[in-house]
Structure 1
Amino acid sequence: MAKKAAALHILVKDKSQATSLLDQLKKGANFQTLAKKHSQCPSGKRGGDLGEFRRGDMAPPFDKAVFSGELLRPLGPIKTKFGWHIIKVLYRN
C-alpha cells in the first residue's frame, strides 16, 4: 500500500467549472496551463504542483482519490471543504 504520492491539482469554487476543466483536459488541454489560469490554490502558480505528501496529509476525499485513483489521468471533480478539485496523480510509492 502506497504511503506517499505526488500530484497536481486545480481548485475551483463550483462543480460546473471543475467539470468544464475536466472536459478540456480529456480533449488534450495542458493540466499545468489550466491550473495557472484557473486554480484558486496558491499551488496554481506552480501549475498545480503539490509536491510529495503522505497518506492522510490531505482532506479525506482528496486523499482517497489520490491513493485509489488512476495515475496520470485527471480525476474529478472531487469535493472538499476547500472547493472542487481536478487531480492528476504523478506517482505513488
Structure 2
Amino acid sequence: MGKDSKPKEAKGKGKQAGGGSDETASKGKGKAGKSADGLGTCTYVKARHVLCEKQGKINEAYKKLQDGWLNNGDKVPPAEFAKIAAEYSECPSGKKGGDLGWFPRGKMAGPFQEVAFNTPVGATSAPFKSTHGYHIILCEGRKN
C-alpha cells in the first residue's frame, strides 16, 4: 500500500543523499531548526486527525476537545480523540478514529505536514485550514 518498495526506493535515495535532502528541508523549515526538542526534525509522524469541510463543524469538534480536556491543561487521550474523529470527521479515516498511521515527510501536503511534524507528541493542534478543508491533528508519535 503506502509502503511499496518502488516509492520507498525513490524516497530512500533522497534520504541516503541526506546532505542535500536535509539541507533542503532545513531551508524550508527554518523555524523548526530553532527548537531543541526535536520538533520538525523527525522523518515519520504517527497522527490522528479530524477533517471537516466547514469551519463551523471543525470548531464544534475542537470545542468538545477543549471542554473535555484542553481547558483543564490535559492532553486528549487517543481513544477520546478517536471518538470525536468518528463523530465529526468527513475523511474516510474517521471510521478508524482518524488514524492516519505513520507517514513520512513529503507524503502530506503543505500546512497539514507542517502542523503534523511540529505538534509535540501527545498534543492536539488548533484547527487549521488546508486545501482539503479544516483539520485538527493529534500527534501520537515521531521517529527517524
Using the size of structure 2 for normalisation, the TM-score is: 0.61
Deviation beyond 3 Å, 4+ runs, structure 1: none
Cα root mean square deviation, aligned = 1.3
- Of 96, 100, 107 in structure 2, the residue corresponding to residue 46 of structure 1 is 96
- Of 59, 64, 80 in structure 2, the residue corresponding to residue 24 of structure 1 is 64
**Number of aligned pairs?**
93
Q: Which runs of 5+ in 1 are unaligned?
A: none
Q: Which runs of 5+ in 2 are unaligned?
A: 1-40, 70-79
Would you say 1:73 and 2:143 are equivalent positions? no
- Of 47, 50, 53 in structure 2, the residue corresponding to residue 13 of structure 1 is 53
Larger RCO: 1 or 2 (CA < 8 Å, sep 6+): 1
Whole-Å Cα distance in 1 between the matches of residues 59 and 109 of structure 2?
20
The structure where helix makes up a greater share of residues is 2
Percent of pairs with identical residues = 35
Q: Which has the larger radius of gyration?
A: 2
- Which residue of structure 2 aligns with residue 62 of structure 1? 112
